[in-house]
Structure 1
Amino acid sequence: MTDAVLVTGAFGLVGSSTVKRLAADGRRVVATDLDIPANRKAAEKLPPGVEVQYADLTDPAAVDALVAAVAPAAIIHLAAVIPPFIYMRRELAEKVNVGAMGSLLAAAEKQPTRPRFVLASSIAVYGARNPHTHPDVLTADTPLNPADVYGAHKVAAEALVRASTLDWVILRLGGVLTVDPAAYMKMDNLYFEGVLPVDGRIQTVDVRDVARAFAAATTANAVGETLLIGGDDTHRLVQGDVAPAMAAAMGLVGGLPTGLKGDPARDDDWFNTDWMDTSRAQEVLKYQHHSWPEMLIETANKAGVSRHLLRVVAPLTKAIFTRRAAYHGRIEPYADPWGAIAAKWADPRPDGGKP
Structure 2
Amino acid sequence: MDTVLVTGAFGLVGSATVRRLADDGRSVVATDLDIPANRAAAAALPESVQVRYADLTDPTAVDELVGAVAPAAIIHLAAMIPPFIYTRRDLAHRVNVEATGHLLDAAAGQSEPPRFVQASSIAVYGSRNPHTVSGVLTADTPTNPADIYGDHKVQAERLVRDSGLDWVILRLGGVMTVDPGPYIKLDNLYFEQLLPADGRLQTVDVRDVASAFAAATTAAVVGETLLIGGDETHRKIQREVAPAMAAAMGLVDGLPAGLPGNPDSDDEWFNTDWMDSGRAQQALAFQHHSWPDMLAETAARAGAKRHLLRVIAPLAREILRWRAPYHRSGKKYADPWTAIDEKWGDPLP
Query: How far did residue 136 of structure 1 move?
Result: 1.3
Residue number in structure 1 paired with 2:175: 176
CA distance in 1, matches of 2:163, 2:322: 49
CA distance in 2, matches of 1:92, 1:212: 30
CA distance in 1, matches of 2:203, 2:270: 14
Deviations 1:323-348 (A, max 9, x none): 00001112121000001000111010
Query: How far did residue 39 of structure 1 move?
Result: 0.2
Given that 2:251 and 2:310 are in contact with CA atoms closer than 8 Å, whether structure 1 keeps it comes out as yes
SS in 1 for 2:120: strand
SS in 2 for 1:194: helix
The one-letter code matched in structure 2 to 1:293 is: P
CA distance in 1, matches of 2:102, 2:87: 24
Residue number in structure 1 paired with 2:61: 62
CA distance in 1, matches of 2:346, 2:127: 15
Residue number in structure 2 paired with 1:353: none
CA distance in 2, matches of 1:213, 1:23: 14
The reply on whether 1:240 has 2:236 as its aligned counterpart is no
Q: What TM-score do the two structures reach when normalised by structure 2?
A: 1.00
Aligned pairs (5 A) from 1:162-173:
162-173=161-172
CA distance in 2, matches of 1:230, 1:194: 22
Residue number in structure 2 paired with 1:262: 261
The one-letter code matched in structure 2 to 1:169 is: V
Residue number in structure 2 paired with 1:304: 303
Unaligned runs of 5+ in 1: 351-355
CA distance in 1, matches of 2:159, 2:247: 42
Unaligned runs of 5+ in 2: none
Deviations 1:193-241 (A, max 9, x none): 1000010000000000000000000000000000000000000001111
Deviations 1:129-170 (A, max 9, x none): 000101210000000000000000000000000001100000
Residue number in structure 2 paired with 1:142: 141
Residue number in structure 1 paired with 2:200: 201
Deviations 1:266-294 (A, max 9, x none): 00000000000000000000000000000
The number of residues matched between the two structures is 349
The one-letter code matched in structure 1 to 2:230 is: G
Runs of 4+ in 1 over 2 A off after TM superposition: none
Deviations 1:90-131 (A, max 9, x none): 000000000000000000000000100000000000000000
CA distance in 2, matches of 1:332, 1:192: 17
Residue number in structure 2 paired with 1:224: 223
CA distance in 1, matches of 2:268, 2:225: 27
Which segment is superposed worse, 18-27 or 183-192? Answer: 183-192
The reply on whether 1:84 has 2:83 as its aligned counterpart is yes
Q: How well do the aligned residues superpose, as a CA RMSD in angstroms?
A: 0.5
SS in 1 for 2:342: helix
The reply on whether 1:295 has 2:294 as its aligned counterpart is yes
CA distance in 2, matches of 1:182, 1:95: 29
The one-letter code matched in structure 2 to 1:4 is: T
Given that 2:182 and 2:188 are in contact with CA atoms closer than 8 Å, whether structure 1 keeps it comes out as no
SS in 2 for 1:244: helix
